[in-house]
Structure 1
Amino acid sequence: MRKLLRTAALLLATTQVQAQDLSYYLPDSVPYNAAIPKPQEVIYHQVGEYHITHDRLVNYMQALAKAAPDRIKLEPIGFTYEGRPQVLLIITSPRNHQNLEQIRQQHVQLTDPSKSAALNTADMPAVVYIGHSIHGNEPSGANASLLSAYYLAAAKGPQIDDLLEHTVILFDPSFNPDGLQRFSTWVNQHRGKNLVTDPASREFNEVWPGGRFNHYWFDLNRDWLPAQHVESQNRLAWYHKWKPNILTDHHEQGSNATFFFQPGVPSRVNPITPAKNQELTGKIAQYHAQFLDRIGSLYFTKENYDDFYYGKGSTYPDVNGAVGILFEQASSRGHAQQTANGVLRFPFTIRNQFTTTLSTLEAARNLRRELLDWQREFYRSALTDAAANAVKGYVFGDSNDEGRTAIFVNMLRRHQIEVRRLANDTKVEGIVFGKNNSYVVPAAQPQHRLIKAIFDKTLEYKDSIFYDITSWTMPLAFGLPYAQLNAAQFTPSLMGEVVSGTVTTKGGVVGGKSEIGYLLDWKAFGAPAALYALQNAGIITKVATRPMEMTIGGTARKFDFGTILLPVSMQSVSGDQLLTRVQAIAQQYSVPVYAIGNGSVLSGSDLGSSKFVSLSKPSVAMVVGTGVSALDAGEIWHLFDQRFDIPMTHLDLPSFNQRDLSRYNTLIMVSGSGYSDINKDKLKAWVQNGGTLVLTEDAITWAAQAGICTVGLKRGQSGIDSAQALAYASREQLVGAQEVAGAIFRADVDLSHPLAYGYSTPSVHLFKANRVFMERSKSPFANPFTYGKQPLESGWVSRENKAAIANSAAVVVSTVGSGRVIAIADNPNLRAFWLGGTKLMMNAVFFGKVIEAGSARGEE
């Protein structure tokens, strides 16, 4: 009987929910303050029994701050898109809390070479930023934060007292509140009393888009450098307010793995990162190994993950005088899942994350002086490197688009980079930079290395496999004219006032009320938002398909392709009402609008010409759902919704065939592999009836195979000689080298084409992270964006893929009946910072129907 009972107990242990009390996680040699609430007293379950929801996570952090005010100060740092609070706990000793602002100011002086030499680091605490679960469906980090915060609030004894005295801990329990809430809701609602460990179960297979992303389906772990999202901007403000010495970034990986901590692959470290950084990373890693050995957890280092792209949380600190540490725990993706290593239980994953928080803090305490000294030396040596570098500064600015320039300046300022206004007009490398709309970034400043990472191009690499993109040269991404300045060009006469605060731009109506019409300059960044707002207000709009010159306010002014005409006589509102609406919209979106004094043109098409084509208000839908890239879809959603205030319908793939497509005049399909069930005849008929279908990346391949368009596709070579005997161990390197991880290519542009309206230069830079290589159309007018013989500007690409890209088409327009199919081979909207591709995408939406059939002849 006893044997049967023991067998039954073992069976229950493997099937029923196993809640672990705190003794499973916490060090057993430490006493705890009974007055500090334990997690279950606030969140109503044991840690790991359920997945913590973000609201309860914040409730617990608030409870700790209230119960232990001598150790914890809670700082609200902002709100997410969905209105969830982002909170930061500042945890240190009671004595440090009494002098917290003085400690902060002194610590920040380590990053100022003009002040840092006088500091005595022996008396300074190290600053450690502990960050959790920037991917919402990698939740062990955020759940471990319950334990770490409790430990730091409640632990007693000389060891914790010494730790808190010598460290200031910035504690972020959730980098991605919206994603964490989405994922925790999913797994908790699919959890039963008896845990199901079958990986096929619904619990482990989220519905699209999943909890990894933020509200707009962005990977926030790629946004540390671009900083285009509110979560990142809120976090960066506090990062630079404190300038931590260590930042931890707690993630999860595949369920069949173990546990990873940095260092990563040595050959994939960004060459800008000093060797001392990796030396310190290795020293800290020894503490992780020791602490994980104590609890018997397996781990690995120096494989799979790298330290190359500075937009990741574990790499961004490396170019800011700190040490970034990536932790990757094998994911249970639910409460308990069968893996190649047995059943992986959620509490186990949490314990490893908590343990490495303790190891990080122990390393910070013991290496405190070395970390502080390195931070000082990092910024001191940055000035030394700048003095030895031939590039002394960078000048940039777009006289035609001050809005886009302002967004770039504000991005630089978020990273504590000094930006100055250009004091005098200058010409560099044939580019004229005007003092009223251009800026200078001196290279000789503490953020010299980060400036290089932002501005410089890269074409030489130690490795050919990358965890993320291989280039992100920001001025090219933003589509801004820029130039490097050497010692002879970088003169004091260029240095204007230092930019402080947020740069803003102004718009409005120039010339007052008109009885004839108004002209909206399409080059302005906010022009698409203004145009949609005008159309939504019922104002009739036309687009100029030819340039012209008119007298405005007594001065001759040229207006380019794409200028928007608002004819007064055609409107249903009075002239005064029209002016009021146009003025308000122009101011809201910072666009210049010019009042027409008389209808005569000095050159070009008259205002009543057929070359001014009437526009329809876009009614836009995008196909989303399983099999569609959530990242690509989110980039477009964010562009329309956040940048331009244009609503967009999301058509879910499973129900697409049942939807009435006549409601929409524009349909967008981004990269994806799930389009096979779409009713091809229905979609083609919609295009033939006048719809504009915009395709990007892999969606082009599907559409071509489905007969929606006749875009020709080039086939890239494998790069592997099948006749040659190759070692199996070389497979990863050889196959991986053929991936297009993400590089920048220059495309030649036909500025007269509707898809190029608003561009001022005959080339733009696009980002490629795929192997979609389009043949040029047989119609010479259907290739508005093309790649030349040597289009690579920055980044890694194999010899075989480089050959396939050469002389290919970046954009092809096809005529299908009365409609148009616009195929964009690459990603014009990468991570919300590729603003150089914004006009291309918006032109496809607003002007797709303007493209004449003859411009795409031969493609039907």
Structure 2
Amino acid sequence: MKRLFLVVVLLITIALSAQELKSPSEFLGYELGTRFTRHHRVVDYYQYLSEAAKDRMQLKEYGKTNEQRPLLLAYVSSVTNMQNLEAIREEHLKSTTGTGKSTKAIVWLSYNVHGNESVSTEASMQTIYELLTSKQAYLENTVVIMDPCINPDGRDRYVNWYSQFKNTPNQLNPDSKEHNEGWWSGRSNHYMFDLNRDWAWLTQLESQQRLRYYNNWLPHIHVDFHEQSMDSPYYFAPASEPFHEVITDFQRDFQVTMGKNHAKYFDANGWFYYTKERFDLFYPSYGDTYPTYNGAIGMTYEQGGGGRAGLGVITSNGDTLTLKDRIAHHHTTGISTVEVAASNVTKLNKEYQKFYQPKNYKYKSYILKGPEDHMRALTQLLDQHQLSYSYGTGVNVKGFNYKTGKAGSLRTNSESLIISTNQTRGTLVKVLFEPNARLSDSLTYDITAWSLPYAYGLDAIASESLISETSKKENSSKKEVFNTNTYAFLTDWNGMDDARFLAELLQQKIRVRQAQKPFTLEGKRYESGSLIITKADNDGRKNFTKILGEAAEKHHKSLTAVSSGFVDDGKDFGSRYVLMIPAVKVAVLAGEPTSTLRFGEIWHFFEQQLHYPVTVLDENYINGVDLSNYEVLILPGGTGYERFMDTPMLSRLKEWVSQGGRLIAMGKAIASLDGADGFDISAREEEKDSTVNLVQPYENLQREEIKNDITGAIFKTKVDATHPLAFGYKDTYFSLKLASDSYDYLESGTVAYISKDTLPVAGFAGSEAQKKMAKSLVFGVEKHGKGQVVYMVDNPLFRGFWENGKLFFVNALFMAY
């Protein structure tokens, strides 16, 4: 009788709640699914709910986007749970240390990471409404955290575009303008970055702000809501191979549990879906994999539709797909996810604790040494991920040597970084630092190599032992003191702190020289590329030493003051080998020939990493721009250069270069110069294997084709360190190769290149693709008249995380002339 009474009370409470709260349609003034909701109205609805249901919901603004739109988290649970929310969080996190006794499940639902996959945010409003009304029962033992829109800038870009161009009321024909978004799409964020590939690298403002809150919860379940081709059925877990080896049996099995529950509802409605295809769990920077490597059941849900679907569209098989359909599907899986979590609280907590128990991974410690600014950049990333690290004590460490690919040793010191898997989030350490992640299937959705020692250009050893360490690094920094007898100030050149220092000085109109040859002065050796800032060059600059000192402190630069330009060995400061660095004016091409992602990487690099001005020239009007106003023009990678690079444009670029311009061609933009008059770049001829059977069964075709592909593998390249494009580098560089594009060495100016050894040090490269890599160019410079063409076959700015490649790009701007 008492149980019946409680059930009745609960049903009455739910009914009253439903009457009190307005549905999304009631609040917005239109039926959900009949138009797209702009971000500020989504914010309004969530704020309304947080006031109307304040006992069961809290709303937190966790940051702002580049365009100043708010980023929100909604915490939803029962009245009692919300009153104890902080205690629930703390008890849950104790499970990572094996001491927690949590009785709640934590579910995090993330929507609209891709802005033009716009149904997600619409579905989030219906989902939170039902959790606060008809589905309250699920919240008795569950806390749901909802991010209604990870990418508001991209989403509003799409919604505004669609509202401008849609027919009235709307047109189902996919040929209509409203279904063809164009180059500047809403998929990416302000800087055209894909936020779904930034969870591990944290190059973007949205990712950085979100992860601070995610890491304070580390939920049991995380779902990333997406859209895919409008002709695709719905996709939900379980994922496909390859699964990274650290993923537990429980994580894999629970995805099946989740998928079966979703299927129950989809089957009842006659909705089509698929599982175990295409979307794998390997690359660590996704919204499903990153949570998985932190103990969660990380999942991607994909609804057919995307930017083409609009409010409704006729698919290729003649069906009509509406926004209402898409909302219903995402809403169903969202509620189903919470339902499964609420039904499996005990098991989720038990297995979550097991995930965080100490693991016996092969490599127990990763030891790293290298330039100070490379190390500083890495520790900043580790801090963002809340990963522990320490410093060496002078011991000699043996293990796998990343540089040689064989057993080796490295002596630690107080500057050496030690990262151990013997910590709470040791699994994430293994995933990010292991030399070569084991790939169970070569058919994968993204890049297959990312190891941070290679990405940051550090000497590294992976040790099978735990290495002795100290928690503190000796502080050797000191404030610069300049005396009146100084002739010049000298500093090294080997990383992005140096680049930012130079960029600031040039904008402050401080004149800086570079040493084209190594030299020794006052007993200290300086390598090629070292910066020389003389008093004589800056004689008329007011507050010269003050500006210099402040810039040095800001960018962690140590300056050496010298009293003479007469060197002990090498070239004196008045030599023709000591050149003034120009404050170049830089332009970058945007528009249809380029990839939005490749353009965005360059745009972001200038504005948020180098802090140096860049002018964006769109292909629509570049013909009317006087290129003589610019010293540098960058062609980002892209697949649309065939039309853009017509004969008049090629002739114009050739003339501009010959008059002193510097053209930087990146990735697939290089193909548009191959064979063009006046450009010496040439694609390598592919050697055909006559022993290969040209007739293949249909089911084998995909695996046969992948023999010609490279899916983000790391190659060891040789470097001509005497060339200005390579200043700051040694004789080897580990390059992240994203495709099998291959070009012959240049007759002169081959700077970084692959020799005969074409086996990648990490990641997948097909057997035929490897053959194409032999004796191929990676970075090179060719001279034309007074100017140069810089070829970057591999992209050193890819996704903003390949830290060790960025100086090549900076050298292309300031050094290589």
> What band does the TM-score fall into relative to the shorter chain?
over 0.9
Partner secondary structure for residue 250 of structure 2:
helix
Q: What is residue 746 of structure 2 aligned with on the other side? A: 777
Q: What's the CA shift string for 1:70-125, capped at 9, x where partnerless?
A: 11011111111222111101111110111111111110011113x24xx3x5xx11
Q: Distance in 1 between matches of 2:528 and 2:147?
A: 49
Q: Does 2:766 align with 1:798?
A: yes
Deviates more, 1:832-841 or 1:456-465: 456-465
Contact 2:495 2:807 in 1 (8 A): no
Q: What is residue 392 of structure 1 aligned with on the other side? A: 364
Contact 1:697 1:824 in 2 (8 A): yes
Contact 1:455 1:473 in 2 (8 A): yes
CA shift in 2, pair 1:534/1:848, >3 Å: same
Partner secondary structure for residue 61 of structure 1:
helix
CA shift in 2, pair 1:513/1:659, >3 Å: same
Counterparts of 1:677-696 in structure 2, within 5 Å, are: 677-678=644-645, 679-696=649-666
Partner secondary structure for residue 64 of structure 1:
helix
Q: What is residue 339 of structure 1 aligned with on the other side? A: 315
Contact 1:719 1:738 in 2 (8 A): no
Q: What's the CA shift string for 1:469-516, capped at 9, x where partnerless?
A: 1111111011122211233xx443xx11179xxx99968646545541
Q: Does 2:12 align with 1:38?
A: no
Partner secondary structure for residue 366 of structure 2:
strand
Deviates more, 1:421-430 or 1:807-816: 421-430
State the one-letter code of the partner of 2:128: A
Of residues 107, 112, 131, the one that matches 1:133 is: 112
Q: What is residue 15 of structure 1 aligned with on the other side? A: none
State the one-letter code of the partner of 1:733: R
Counterparts of 1:291-690 in structure 2, within 5 Å, are: 291-331=265-305, 333-341=309-317, 342-380=319-357, 383-386=358-361, 389=362, 391-398=363-370, 400=371, 402-424=372-394, 426=396, 435-458=413-436, 461-487=439-465, 490-492=466-468, 495-497=469-471, 509=480, 511-551=482-522, 556-573=523-540, 577-675=543-641, 676-678=643-645, 679-690=649-660
Q: What is residue 47 of structure 1 aligned with on the other side? A: 32
Q: Distance in 2 between matches of 1:719 and 1:178?
A: 49
Q: Distance in 1 between matches of 2:344 and 2:166?
A: 43
Contact 1:783 1:813 in 2 (8 A): yes
1:744 Cα deviation (Å)?
0.7
Q: What's the CA shift string for 1:525-548, capped at 9, x where partnerless?
A: 222222122122222221100111
CA shift in 2, pair 1:604/1:433, >3 Å: farther
State the one-letter code of the partner of 2:242: R
1:354 Cα deviation (Å)?
0.5
State the one-letter code of the partner of 2:366: Y
Q: What is residue 847 of structure 1 aligned with on the other side? A: 815
Q: Distance in 2 between matches of 1:459 and 1:245?
A: 24
Partner secondary structure for residue 391 of structure 2:
strand
Q: What's the CA shift string for 1:795-827, capped at 9, x where partnerless?
A: 001111112112212112211121111111111
Deviates more, 1:244-253 or 1:428-437: 428-437
Contact 1:507 1:589 in 2 (8 A): no
What is the Cα-based RMSD across aligned positions, in Å? 2.2
1:41 Cα deviation (Å)?
4.4
Q: What is residue 93 of structure 1 aligned with on the other side? A: 78
Q: What is residue 81 of structure 1 aligned with on the other side? A: 66
State the one-letter code of the partner of 1:599: G
Q: Distance in 1 between matches of 2:483 and 2:92?
A: 54
Counterparts of 1:694-713 in structure 2, within 5 Å, are: 694-713=664-683
Q: What's the CA shift string for 1:773-803, capped at 9, x where partnerless?
A: 1111233x53344444245110001111112
1:717 Cα deviation (Å)?
5.7
Partner secondary structure for residue 75 of structure 1:
strand
Of residues 139, 142, 157, the one that matches 1:167 is: 142
1:524 Cα deviation (Å)?
4.1
1:720 Cα deviation (Å)?
9.9
State the one-letter code of the partner of 1:774: Y
Q: How many residues align?
A: 789
Query: Could you list the runs of 5+ residues in structure 1 that have no partner in the other structure?
Result: 1-28, 850-860
State the one-letter code of the partner of 1:129: W
Q: What's the CA shift string for 1:578-604, capped at 9, x where partnerless?
A: 101111221222222222223332221
Q: What's the CA shift string for 1:105-160, capped at 9, x where partnerless?
A: 110011113x24xx3x5xx11000011011001011111011112112233xxxx3
Deviates more, 1:407-416 or 1:580-589: 407-416
Partner secondary structure for residue 214 of structure 2:
helix
Q: Distance in 2 between matches of 1:162 and 1:284?
A: 19
Q: Does 2:180 align with 1:205?
A: yes
State the one-letter code of the partner of 1:439: L
Q: Distance in 1 between matches of 2:391 and 2:106?
A: 34
CA shift in 2, pair 1:515/1:411, >3 Å: closer
Q: Distance in 2 between matches of 1:567 and 1:433?
A: 37
1:846 Cα deviation (Å)?
0.5
Q: What's the CA shift string for 1:177-213, capped at 9, x where partnerless?
A: 1111111111122233331112122212223231110
Q: Distance in 2 between matches of 1:195 and 1:724?
A: 48
Deviates more, 1:576-585 or 1:253-262: 576-585
CA shift in 2, pair 1:427/1:275, >3 Å: closer
Q: What is residue 768 of structure 1 aligned with on the other side? A: 737
When normalised by structure 2's length, the TM-score is 0.93
Q: What is residue 797 of structure 2 aligned with on the other side? A: 829
State the one-letter code of the partner of 1:534: L
Q: What's the CA shift string for 1:640-684, capped at 9, x where partnerless?
A: 111111111111112222211111101111211222324111111
Q: What is residue 153 of structure 2 aligned with on the other side? A: 178
CA shift in 2, pair 1:541/1:416, >3 Å: closer
Contact 2:420 2:429 in 1 (8 A): no
CA shift in 2, pair 1:425/1:125, >3 Å: same
Partner secondary structure for residue 34 of structure 1:
helix
Deviates more, 1:250-259 or 1:799-808: 799-808
Q: Distance in 2 between matches of 1:252 and 1:668?
A: 32
Q: Which 4+ stretches in 1 moved above 3 angstroms? A: 29-32, 40-44, 423-436, 503-515, 715-725, 781-788
Query: Could you list the runs of 5+ residues in structure 2 that have no partner in the other structure?
Result: 1-13, 402-407
Contact 1:692 1:848 in 2 (8 A): no
Of residues 92, 105, 109, the one that matches 1:107 is: 92
